[in-house]
Amino acid sequence: MRVPVEWLYEYCAPDLPVQELATRLAMTGTEVDRIEHHGVRALEHFVVGRVLSAQQHPDADRLKVCVVDVGDGEQSQIVCGAPNVAAGQTVAVARPGSVMADGTKLKQAKLRGLESNGMILAEDELGIGSDHAGTMVLDDVLEPGSPLAGVLPLSTDVLELEITPNRPDCLGVYGVAREAHAATGARLRDAPWEQDPGTFDDSDLGVAVVVEARDLCPRFTARAFHDVTIGPSPPWLKARLMACGQRPINNVVDITNYVMLLTAQPMHAFDLDRVEGARLVVRRATKGEQVVTLDDQTRTVDGEVCLIADDAGPTSIGGVMGGNRSEVQDDTTSVLMEAASWDAANIHATSLKLGLRSEASARFEKGLAPEQALDGQAVATKLMLELTGATLVPGTIDVGSGSRPPEPAVLRLRDKRVVGLLGVAITRSQSAMHLQRLGFETAERPDGLDVTVPPWRRNDVTREADLIEEVARLHGVNDQLPTTLPRRRGAVGVLAPAQRLRRRAEDVLVGRGLHEIVGWSFDPPARDDRLRLAAGDPRRAHVVIENPMSEDGANMRTTLLGSLLDVARHNAARGQALRGIFESGRVYLARDSYTRSVTLPHEHHALGALVPGDVFAAKGYLEALLRALRVEGTFASASEPFLHPGRSAAVQIGSHPPTVVGWVGDVHPLVARDWDLAAVAAFEIDLDAVVAAARLVPEYEDLTSFPELREDIAIVVDETVPAATVLDAVRAAGGNLLAHAEVFDVYRGEQIAAGRTSLAIALTFRARDRTLTDADVAPLREKIVKRLAEQLGGELRG
Amino acid sequence: MTQRIAELRAEAEAAISAAAGSAELEQLRVRYLGRKAELPNILRAIATLPPEERGPTGKAANQVRQALEGLIAQRSEQLAGGELEQQLRRDVVDVTLPGAPPQPLGRLHLLTATRREIEDVFLGLGFRIAEGPEVETVYYNFDALNHAPTHPARDRQDTFYVTDDVVLRTHTSPMQIRAMEAQPPPLYLIIPGRVYRRDNDATHTPQFHQIEGLAVDEDITLADLKGTLLAFARAIFGSDREVRLRPHFFPFTEPSVEVDVSCFMAHDSHPPAQRCRVCKDTGWVEILGSGMVDPNVFSYVAEYGYDPEKIQGFAFGMGIERIAMLKHGVPDLRLLYDNDVRFLEQFG
Ligand SMILES: [Zn+2]
């Protein structure tokens, strides 16, 4: 909302610099995006002039050489390009030193060899109109040399305000004036609708209005004007529209816009003679009905859109945009001025459906009070009479329940609630003052105030809490408020175990050189094929977005691998060698359906990594992570469509039976190639499941009183026997005294038979109550060797 | 014989003193004290001497042997010291060369690092951390947060819909409701997480991250909100910071305020012609929205112990991206999602 300060000051003029006013508004809840300047600068150089003579330029057909009286008998030669300039005209002159609306600074110049001391101005050069065709001709009573600023609104600061959706009353200059009054205490002048030249007798306006859709149009008012002369608006009005960012059109249309900008009530002017059948009906559209709107677009509407129609069909989309059939035109002489109230939700829905937002719909969709319709009529009537030569047809059409608005709400504001919620002492009389300045009425009660809500705040202020907000913002939530901390009875800030472990898991990878990335939750649908996911793969069960930004972001990801591959490729394409990367974030798996009792999709926090090298490189990181979390992980040969089938494993935790919580392996060469990557390996785990299995509180184990006894064996088995199977057999045979067994070397080659593998295994024996000797361990060792021989065909090597 | 012993002593002492290295000293030891050397032979042959010579000879030879042993030990230590000196000199390296092997170092993403930093501040202030679903119901995302049926945030233009009743959450606030359903007051929580809005331009990405805060008790005030956010702002942006509360409007808080933090850039360090990149010379930077929890929100969870007449609280929500970018001078939001290694290496 652009508010010209010059206009605002007509209703409330705080004795403050504009910057300070803006700060006061901002600190009381009216956000000021910026302060702009509209119009010319260096006002002292703009004066009224009189053209004494205007002669053809000797060397230029389209230029005239004028001698202009610029006051005090001083005569200036000005070369002028306007076709209409003529001797005797009173004109607006910019002298050298002036700064024009577009920022250019005027200097003494020579035009085709002749000196020119300034410019005779057109409207657009002053920023008070869009006309550039000719010189602006002023009233002859003006004295040459008088300051132009005294005649025309040449210059104003403009407040660019961000009005929050609860305050449609501030979408008009007078509403902002009320805020300025409340924020500064400066006097608020009477509202511009206090004096209404209109009447309310029952006379015939020459048109009938029928409101069929009462629910969508609670109030419809209209007044009729005859003898209207369509023409340009006066400069002051055009200047204000321009400063508000609107283009002047003609006096009647300009009046509707002006009234809306002042009162927040949108208006619409019909050419009364173009209303077919002298009858307007406000009704729901029939599905598929078409309306040609003011912007010349044909719009097809559904049965919930509210139309204004005459006997020839729809003329307007109520509250959103007028139609071009009954629009005011240059030959219009009779005008029907409409001011109505529309159902906010329906306007909002209509505007969304049609993709059509107008100044009117932006106001109606926030909910205007029905009382405001007549405010608008009062101001419009006054201007129609003043500016268009119109005569007013006595009487006002006023249809609908909105013409009998509800009783104003009276709310109790308890002193102790004010203080208790804000944490600062505010007296009852202070509260009353703030509320009265905003237009609320207050009455003393034993425990506080009874507060009557004015109509324009009816939708916004409905509860005690809303009143406290009004008091708080005007009292000063910033300057007047102490800074205290909550008493936080018994509240202790601590990470939940899962949160602590998630951090630990990330830190382990970072500590080993991996960089964390943050990928997109969105997946392009084509990615499933690129990852070679089979038709029934559970990862194809995406949460699908109905309205994605683009088709490429229609799916929610079911794996982190896509993000990781994308980032790896992004960096490779920029010449950055692949380093290990990981992501710690959610994946989303759809369920069968979402109903009103709403089953949400499955989400879990996943952790995935992509590293240069092979499956063992990836597994090394993963094992480090699992060890850090004190989770026993096991690995079983298993394939995933995007992994190398012979070089991948399922990650499992627990036993009887183990739960699969992820995968690790070489990325399938076809997938790597698709992402332009060399050999890479990856893993992904369900971090929620892993963290849930972590041992949170390790219990002390005595590992020092009785030293352990270590022994290595090398065992030769068929190369098809997994090391994990060998270790299982070793552990089973080793019994309680075997504390630990792990493979530390693998050999295949000349020294053993083809198709066989030698595994070097480190055995650690320990007893809780004594120091073990060879005598204790030798039988166990024999038992282990025997078991390996029997179960797995293993033979002791060397 | 004692004559010979004295000669040996003089000869050996001279040689030992002159020995130039440990190896030579060892040769001398073998020559004078070794199994086949003369002096040990004399001692072994004592028994063959006439009885009257045995005493003096044995005594002299032993004395000389002990003296020489002492001398060798002493000389050995001298020599070793010198040799170590030499060794140390030879060992000199160029310590400006890099460590070997180089230890790889990864980094947390700036968003994670910033999130944890903010989390830690609020942990210190007594808040716990809760998380909620990113795919959320319209009920929790809008209805129970007092969004009017026509609130523009509900538009399909602004919000991602999965079905008519399910959206990608547009803020972390729905977890306020879920948390209150799960636990009676007092409640001190922050809720970090990923959120989604249909925006994509220089200052918006369709996915971003927020941290929500919620404190509910019998006597929480707007002044408590101000104090809490002041503590936060100082922890994150520096101990000299001030906060400024500006009244605003949010559907689920009443009163609502936007919070600015005083600019943390050194304003005299740049020529006045150049505007401050952080505050545009206003001295203040907006960092979050907040307010007192609207009674309507409590009425949605009244049955869980949240009677709007008896309890009150504050809530706030901030963008992690914004905090990170302000603090580290990151000029473009999209850098955070490019994941260029040269960007990642700079933070975390
Ligand atoms: Zn600054």
Residue B275 C-alpha to ligand 1 middle, in angstroms? 8
Residue B319 C-alpha to ligand 1 middle, in angstroms? 19
Domain A709-796: CATH architecture, name and number where available = 2-Layer Sandwich (3.30)
pLDDT digits (tens, 9 = 90+) for A90-107: 999 999 999 988 888 998
Place of tokens 């700079």: B346
Put simply, whether B262 touches A (Cβ < 8 Å) is: no
Put simply, whether A636 touches B (Cβ < 8 Å) is: no
B-proximal residues of A, 602-621, CB under 8 Å = 603
The closest CB to that of A352, out of B155, B160, B256, belongs to: B155
pLDDT digits (tens, 9 = 90+) for A456-502: 999 999 999 999 999 999 998 888 899 999 987 778 999 999 999 99
Q: Give the side-chain half-sphere CA count within 13 A for A704.
A: 1
pLDDT at A663 over 80: yes
Q: What percent of chain A has pLDDT over 70?
A: 99
Paired strand residues for A13 = none
pLDDT at A313 over 60: yes
Put simply, whether B257 touches A (Cβ < 8 Å) is: yes
Put simply, whether A516 touches B (Cβ < 8 Å) is: yes
For residue A497, the chain B residue with the least C-alpha distance is: B129
Which residue in B116, B159, B106 sits closest to B323, CA to CA? B116
When pLDDT is cut at 50, 70 and 90, the band that residue B80 belongs to is: confident
Mean pLDDT of A223-242: 93
Q: Do B221 and A423 touch (CB under 8 A)?
A: yes
From chain A, the residues in CB contact with B168 under 8 A are: 521, 545, 556
The closest CB to that of B226, out of A483, A567, A581, belongs to: A483
Mean pLDDT of A737-756: 93
Alpha-helical runs (H) found in A476-589: 497-511, 527-530, 561-573
From chain B, the residues in CB contact with A466 under 8 A are: 254
The closest CB to that of A516, out of B107, B246, B256, belongs to: B107
Say which DSSP state B230 is in: H
Return the domain boundaries, chain A: 2-39+157-184, 43-153, 208-403, 425-475, 497-692, 709-796
* A165 vs A559: which has the higher pLDDT: A559
Domains A497-692 and A709-796 share a fold: no
pLDDT digits (tens, 9 = 90+) for B182-240: 999 999 999 999 999 999 988 899 999 999 999 999 999 999 999 999 999 999 999 99
Asked if CATH classification 2.170.150.70 holds for the domain at A2-39+157-184, the reply, yes or no, is no
pLDDT digits (tens, 9 = 90+) for A59-93: 888 889 999 999 888 899 999 888 888 889 999 99
Mean pLDDT of A225-251: 93
Catalogue the E-assigned strands of A81-133: 90-94, 109-111, 114-116, 119-120
Put simply, whether B163 touches A (Cβ < 8 Å) is: yes
pLDDT at B270 over 60: no
Coil, strand, or helix at residue A397? strand
CATH of A43-153, one of 2.40.50.140, 2.60.40.10, 3.30.70.1560, 2.30.110.10: 2.40.50.140
Q: Do B165 and A596 touch (CB under 8 A)?
A: yes
pTM of the model as a whole? 0.86
pLDDT digits (tens, 9 = 90+) for B312-336: 999 999 999 999 999 999 989 999 9
Topology of domain A208-403 in CATH is Phenylalanyl-tRNA Synthetase; Chain B, domain 3 (3.50.40)
pLDDT digits (tens, 9 = 90+) for A257-266: 999 999 999 9
Mean pLDDT of A135-146: 88
Residue B283 C-alpha to ligand 1 middle, in angstroms? 5
> Are B267 and B242 in contact, with CB atoms under 8 Å apart?
no
> Are A603 and B135 in contact, with CB atoms under 8 Å apart?
yes
Identify the residue among A479, A547, A607 best suited for mutation to test binding to B, counting B beta carbons within 10 A and taking the highest: A547
Domain B110-344: CATH architecture, name and number where available = 2-Layer Sandwich (3.30)
With residue B72 as reference, give the H or E element that holds it.
helix B51-90
pLDDT at B289 over 90: yes
* B39 vs B144: which has the higher pLDDT: B144
The Cα of B273 is separated from the nearest Cα of chain A by a number of Å equal to: 19
pLDDT at A407 over 60: yes
Mean pLDDT of B52-79: 88
B83 is in an annotated binding site: no
Residue B269 C-alpha to ligand 1 middle, in angstroms? 11
Question: Looking at residue B273, what is its pLDDT?
Answer: 67
Residue B278 C-alpha to ligand 1 middle, in angstroms? 5
The Cα of B254 is separated from the nearest Cα of chain A by a number of Å equal to: 6
ipTM of this complex prediction, to 2 decimal places: 0.86
Identify the residue among A416, A489, A518, A621 best suited for mutation to test binding to B, counting B beta carbons within 10 A and taking the highest: A518
Question: Looking at residue B308, what is its pLDDT?
Answer: 93
Q: What is the 3-state secondary structure (H, E, C) of B9-50?
A: HHHHHHHHHHCCCHHHHHHHHHHHHCCCCHHHHHHHCHHHCC
CATH class as words, domain A425-475: alpha beta
Question: Looking at residue B191, what is its pLDDT?
Answer: 97
Mean pLDDT of A672-700: 95
Put simply, whether A408 touches B (Cβ < 8 Å) is: no
Put simply, whether A627 touches B (Cβ < 8 Å) is: no
From chain B, the residues in CB contact with A26 under 8 A are: 246
Q: Do B344 and A515 touch (CB under 8 A)?
A: yes
CATH class as words, domain A497-692: alpha beta
When pLDDT is cut at 50, 70 and 90, the band that residue B269 belongs to is: low
Mean per-residue pLDDT of chain A: 93
pLDDT at B54 over 60: yes
Q: Do B136 and A600 touch (CB under 8 A)?
A: yes
pLDDT digits (tens, 9 = 90+) for A141-175: 889 999 998 888 888 999 999 999 889 999 999 99
From chain A, the residues in CB contact with B249 under 8 A are: 29, 164-167
